[in-house]
Amino acid sequence: MTGRHSLELALPGASIGAVAGAMAGGLTLLAGQSAGMAGLAALALATPLALFGGLYGMLLGHGVFRPGTFGPIGLYWMAAFPVSRLAQEILVPTGGLAEGAGPFLAYQAMISLGFAIGFLWMHERIMPQWLVRRAGDNPLAGELLQKYLRFARIVRARKSARKEGR
């Protein structure tokens, strides 16, 4: 059962990663590539992003990450996003590795923080709703939902304190 419970926590992050990767296919079409190349590019990026997104949800559920924190998640995606892009570039070469793997990976690490911000923003809006639905049947989801509720209370108390201090 624990495996199923962990996989349920993976679903929101995997979905976000898959959609983000699929959007790459649309960008490939806009760049003038064929529909086949766009589909392959989308699949080649969607798969690793979905895997890493799902892993993030599982790690969050097991207490490795905490809701509302960006630093550790930024570091996570600083490693995971370049690996995902490298997998895509190997499967669908576009010339990104022409200058070598080092510069390619360094550039991907830099832009990964933008991806991390978007991923976290989406995840923080989708995951609590998912947890509310799954908390009754999934003890990991119930525990994580309680962490989100504690975090929300802390944020609300801080906002109230700032308003009263004005």
CA atoms in the 13 A half-sphere facing the CB of 103: 6
* Confidence tier at 75 by pLDDT (50, 70, 90): very high
pTM above 0.85, yes or no: yes
Of all residues in the chain, what percent carry a pLDDT higher than 70?
A: 99
Is 70 exceeded by the pLDDT of residue 24? Answer: yes
- How much is the pLDDT for 166? 67
Tokens 């809701």, located at residue: 67
Q: How does pLDDT run across 91-147, given as a tens digit for each residue?
A: 998 888 999 999 999 999 999 999 999 999 999 999 999 999 999 999 999 999 999
Of all residues in the chain, what percent carry a pLDDT higher than 90?
A: 82
Is 80 exceeded by the pLDDT of residue 47? Answer: yes
Torsion of CA 153, 140, 6, 50, to 10 degrees: -10
Q: Cα(142)–Cα(97) distance, rounded to whole angstroms?
A: 44
- How much is the pLDDT for 71? 95
Nearest to 54 by CA among 22, 32, 76, 78: 76
- How much is the pLDDT for 163? 86
Q: Is 104 exposed, middle or buried (0-12, 13-18, 19+ CB in 10 A)?
A: middle
- How much is the pLDDT for 22? 94
